[in-house]
Structures are given as C-alpha cells and as structure tokens.
Structure 1
C-alpha cells in the first residue's frame, strides 16, 4: 500500500472545512435577511457570523501556510495604491471590530504604492487584526509607509502590548500567537528582491499597545 502524505490529507480536509464554513456563512446571511432579530438575539447572530468569518480566514491562512512551507505557493506580485488596499482591509474587518465595540482605522500617504502579493498580505493583515481584537481596549490601527527600501505595513492596538517573555524565539511562534506570526513571517520572507527578503518585527505601538510590522522589500526606482 502506498504511503499517504498526511500533510496533503490535512490540507484537503482544511479546504473542505473552509467550504463548509462558507456555506454556513451564506445560510446565516440568508437567515439575517429573512428574519427580524432584535436586541440580544441580533447581537448573538452578529457574534456567530464574525466567529465564522474569523474561522474561514484562519482556514485560508492554514492553506497558504501549507503551500508556503512546502514551496507550493507561487507569488503573484503587483503594484497597489496603499490607500485603496488598506481601505479594503478596514471595510472587510470593520464588522468584527464593531461587534467588539472597537474602533478600526488606517493611515497612509494617499500617494503611497507598494509591490507585493495581495492575497498573502490580505491574509496577514486580517490575521494580525483578529489577534489584536483579542487584546485591544478601544482601538486598532493599520498604517503603511516606506522605510529605506522596504514597504512597512503595521497593525497596532492599544492593549497591554507584547510581554517581555514573548520576545523569546520559542514563544514567538507559539503560545497566544498560534501560527499567526509564523504565517506572517513566512509570507514576508516569500517576498524577495535582489537577495533581500522581507521580515516581521514586533514592537511597541504608538497607541500604547502592541505593533506587528511587516517589512516587504521594494524594487528600486
């Protein structure tokens, strides 16, 4: 009997689970449109919907993680206007923030552009925001800027910030962060220009909490 590739089986299972979550989201949306929910019932429906969205995004992240780790992902880079890219991210994630009574916004130079894989960076930003939703007190902010030859996308919150023990490598990819930071690190490193690879950095936030910065190398002009 031919030995089975367990990683491929798991990836297939995740893909199927993601499809099922998508079906549940569609059914829930239909239920919302055909029923009149009020008060606590409406709040519960919104919370269930946002939890399903988060789960769906996590499945997407795991599939990308599998492909990145197995060199099975082909990078598709393009040039994007950061104002439009970040506006799209906030629009998609705003309901999750509202469900937790948190403010979510973005800032960047309106003329700033960046070269990167949109699918990977969308997954990285959403993963970082979902993580920040767990710790933020009142606000989460996404911002982008050019720093030397890198585009820097930062996700910041006003929570308690990274704890000193979290700077250790063994905790960097585990504990409360799960696979999120590892996924962000692989996604950033997949962006390479002239032997210069992207990377991530954990820092203190300008909002007083934690900041995850994703550094992506940019082509010389």
Structure 2
C-alpha cells in the first residue's frame, strides 16, 4: 500500500511543471499587440470611409482611437521591457535625422491629432543628425505625443536641438502641467497606483531606453518640468 501511495505522490509532483509567468505574459502581450494593431488599422479605415457626422461622433471616435493607441503603446513597452530584462532586445544605433523621427511619430498619430483639433508644431533643424535606435526612441516619442494629446488644450510643440553635446528632443503642451508627484525625485520612482491605473510604465520605458544609449559623454536621461514654452508641461529626452 505504502509503495503505491509513494509512487502516486512522486508522479503527482513530477507533473507539476513550474509556469514561467513572465514568458506566458510576454507571449500573450505579443498576441494582444498584434490584435490591437489590426483594430487600430480598421478604425482608421472606418473613419476615413465614414467620417464623423457631428462633434459628438468625432469625440466618440477620438476616445476610441486614443484608448486603443494608448493600450497598444503600453503593450509594446511591456514587451520591450521584458526583452530588456531577458537581454534579448536588439539595439540598433545608427545615424538618423532628428526631423524624420519627429515627423514619423506625428504622422502615426495624424487621425488622433486631427480628431482632437490639436495644432502640433515642429521646431527642428532639418540637417540635425544623431546616433540612436530609431525604433526605441520612436516608441518613447510616440507615447509622449499620445499622452500629451489627451492632456493638452489645443497645442503641442515638438522640438529637437543640440544641448551640451546631447540631442534634446522636447515635447511641450498647453495643458495644466505635470503633477508634483512626477516632478519630485528621480524618475520614475513615484509609487504605482492601481486605483488610478497610473503604473508609470511610460516613464519606466523611457528611462530604460535612454539608459541604453551610452557614449563617453555619459548616458541618456530625461527631465520633466512645468511652465514650458506653451505654458504647460515639457518633457525632454537627452541622448548622448
């Protein structure tokens, strides 16, 4: 009797394969990202073929697109952070025109910006070139534009300049400014709030991407401030 019981117990234990939750989550996120990308594409086509008939419908479409774009951006960031943690994220640093990455992310959010009647301006020397990973920095900039589109009143300003040997890409808005919790201390150390849904994921992703850019001058970093050029908040990305 004892031997059968012991054998059953061993068999039961050997069947308990540990779940690699991070891998399962990353695989699910990848799947969701693809589905959401298809949904965003379908939504853009639908809005093009059947434009909103009035202001209320325009706001409805705008909310749909904003939320879908925001979730899609967060899924991309989650997947990238997982790959960074697993040391499997490919970093492709090459020479790029700063104006190109700015115009690319604005074009990506064209429907969202138009539906919210946001006037977005660019201040960048067309000949300004720098070395960075276009995909990763583009992801950070895209996240900034999507978020600022929600909180600004009607204006955004995206600029790129050289400051003390660093490329500075700044996104300024005419909104109420950033809360004190985002202005205090090292970024993004403020506590995660599950009640408000504010996980600071965008800030964490931005910081990690900037830290991947290192030269003899130092590594990338960012600053957040209020009273920017448009009167609201301004977030600056610095790349060495």
TM-score range, shorter chain: 0.7 to 0.9
Q: Secondary structure at the match of 2:73?
A: helix
Structure 1: 5+ residue stretches without partners:
none
Provide, for residues 149-178 of structure 1, a one-character-per-residue CA deviation record: whole Å limited to 9, x for no partner. 211111111112123343334764645462
Aligned to 2:157: 141
Contact 2:58 2:115 in 1 (8 A): no
Question: Taking structure 1 as reference, are residues 74 and 83 closer, same or farther at Cα in structure 2, changes over 3 Å only?
Answer: same
Q: Secondary structure at the match of 1:214?
A: strand
Contact 1:90 1:106 in 2 (8 A): no
Distance 1:139 1:177 in 2: 26
Question: Taking structure 1 as reference, are residues 21 and 164 closer, same or farther at Cα in structure 2, changes over 3 Å only?
Answer: closer
Contact 1:199 1:215 in 2 (8 A): yes
Structure 2: 5+ residue stretches without partners:
1-15
Contact 1:90 1:105 in 2 (8 A): no
Shift of residue 192, structure 1, vs aligned partner = 1.0
Aligned to 1:202: 224
1:153 to 163, 169, 189: 169
For the pair 1:192 / 2:214, whether they are aligned, the reply is yes
Distance 2:124 2:62 in 1: 30
Question: Taking structure 1 as reference, are residues 30 and 140 closer, same or farther at Cα in structure 2, changes over 3 Å only?
Answer: closer
Distance 1:209 1:31 in 2: 33
For the pair 1:4 / 2:4, whether they are aligned, the reply is no
For the pair 1:100 / 2:116, whether they are aligned, the reply is yes
Provide, for residues 11-30 of structure 1, a one-character-per-residue CA deviation record: whole Å limited to 9, x for no partner. 11111111121232344355
What TM-score do you get using the length of structure 2 for normalisation? 0.80
Distance 2:190 2:229 in 1: 21
What TM-score do you get using the length of structure 1 for normalisation? 0.86
Distance 1:103 1:17 in 2: 31
Q: Secondary structure at the match of 2:151?
A: coil
For residues 70-149 of structure 1, the aligned pairs below 5 Å read: 70-149=86-165
Aligned to 2:205: 183
Contact 1:94 1:104 in 2 (8 A): no
Distance 2:38 2:125 in 1: 38
For the pair 1:55 / 2:63, whether they are aligned, the reply is no
Contact 2:59 2:116 in 1 (8 A): no
Shift of residue 216, structure 1, vs aligned partner = 0.8
Shift of residue 212, structure 1, vs aligned partner = 1.0
Largest Rg, 1 or 2: 2
